[in-house]
Chains A and B, each alone.
Chain A
Amino acid sequence: MVDQADFQVTVGANTSKPTAQQVFQEHATYAWRALRYCGVASSDLQDACQEVFLVVHRRLPEFESRSSVRTWVYGICLRVAAQYRRRAHRRREELMSEPPEMAVLPTQSAEIEVRQTRALLQDVLEGLDSSKRDVFVLYEIEQLPMEEVAAVVGCPLRTAYSRLEAARKHILKAWQRAQIRSNHL
């Protein structure tokens, strides 16, 4: 179970408190995406996303609007993903939502290319440690401003910059290696 004490993100300022349904409608899509690139397997995204909104539902009465709802939900996503990774590491098994496809129609090639690119990016992100990965995902994929990224991950702004820089270097090298490998196959 997710440790409730983990969910303390307090930054900035915001206005009124939405309902759990409103939070879901407005933030489910990016919560899903953030979870995916923070290391949650496709087959587990449903469950992880549910876990995020369970926490949202449970903690919403205590949400004091000192941060934006978006920042708050991202904070929850990062912690759920971190916990998922710890569990997945222990489990050491690959879960599949569906059996692998046996035949590929020509019309599916674009979809497959998208999947492969996504899988490659996820592999490369996998090599980052979680603190750098969170910063990279929030800044480069979720496109949050750096100030908000620092608030979500709970580090000073300067640290967030250095983490981003280190993550970029790592990703660039890993991407080039992955490209070379795939060209040799």
Chain B
Amino acid sequence: MTSFNPPRIASGRANVPNSLRDALQLATTDEPTPHEFSQLAAALAPLLAAPPSLPPYPVLPNGVSESAGLGSKILGATYAKGMTYVAVAVAVAVGGYGIWRSARSGGAPVTHDIAPAPLSQPAAPPAERAGIPVEQLPLDTAPIDESVTTIAPVRPRVRVVEAPLPVPSVQESPAQVEAPKGQLSESELIELARRSVAQDPRKTLSLVQDHRRRFTGGPLSEEADFLEIESMKRLGRLEEARSLGERFRKRYPSSIHGQTVQVKPAPTP
């Protein structure tokens, strides 16, 4: 069936009241305000920058549900990092256990012999099937079963030495260090800063400074820099916001905040 597009109401060619046509025209141009867009971009920035291989975001310990939106979704992006810690911790624990066991057994490494399971039971030769043991047959007449086309490979016995597993070398940045009890984690700090930027930009600035002090070079630094510029703009510190904005665009050329951080030059009198 070929596609035919009937005249749209907003085009004015359909027979409807003008008010409905106007309403639909208005709706076609509806879009988020710059503030709403920047809020959305800020909320999604950590997630969109992360690789899309994360499992569905986990239930958070503070009881934030998925439908709560924002916080849970940002924090979900840090889940992979948490899983890395778990993997490293398990590796260290297993390695330590190996060392401990080798020390207990007089320094000799603990070994296990693992006998390979037979891949398949070879078919009995025809003679054996007929009741004559193969060993009793003369060599030159040893039967060759032509029907056997696959030969089970012989696997050597494997000797596994239980040694400490190599610990992956994780170069820890300050941001990857767990926050001490009672202190906010990096994502919590940024989330708090983001929430307060509309009502209390001074608070956002102070939170951003706190972030810079505690998590320099952390994975959410881009977000912190963006929030700093937003706060400056809201506080009327446009010159500072402009210079920070330029620096931001140079530092993060592919950032989704690229357009948002632009500050228009003040009109010349």
Q: A interface vs B, CB < 8 Å?
A: 1, 19-21, 24-25, 28-30, 32-33, 36-37, 45-47, 49-51, 53-54, 57-58, 60-61, 87, 114, 117-118, 120-121, 139-143, 145-147, 157-158, 161, 164, 168, 171-172, 175-176, 179
Contact = CB atoms under 8 A, between A and B. Distances in A.
Given A21-B254, A145-B3, 8 more contacts: A37-B30, A46-B70, A49-B40, A53-B44, A143-B10, A146-B5, A161-B6, A175-B20
Contacts of A139: 8
Given A47-B67, A146-B4, A33 B43 contact: no
Given A50-B44, A145-B5, A1 B56 contact: yes
Given A1-B56, A20-B52, A29-B32, A117 B67 contact: no
Nearest to B74: A50
B49 A21 contact: yes
A157 B1 contact: yes
B31 A50 contact: no
Interface stretch (B21-29, B163-171, B206-214): B21-29
Nearest to A84: B67
A42 B243 CA distance: 34
B37 interface: yes
Interface string B239-269: 0000000000000001010000000000000
Most buried by B among A1, A37, A47, A164: A47
Nearest to A32: B32
A60 B52 contact: yes
A46 to B, nearest CB: 6
Most buried by A among B27, B50, B53, B57: B27
Contacts of B53: 61
Most buried by A among B10, B23, B37, B69: B23
Contacts of A20: 47-48, 52
Given A117-B22, A179-B17, A21 B48 contact: yes
Interface residues of B, number: 45
Interface in B119-171: none
B52 A61 contact: yes
A128 to B, nearest CB: 14
Contact of A158 (B1, B14, B23, B56): B1
B31 to A, nearest CB: 5
Contacts of A25: 256
A20 B52 CA distance: 8
Most buried by B among A19, A46, A51, A141: A141
Contact of B73 (A54, A157, A161): A54
Given A87-B67, A175-B17, A114 B52 contact: no
B99 interface: no
Nearest to A20: B48
Contacts of B254: 21
Contacts of A175: 16-17, 19-20, 23
Contacts of A145: 3, 5
Contact of A28 (B5, B16, B37): B37
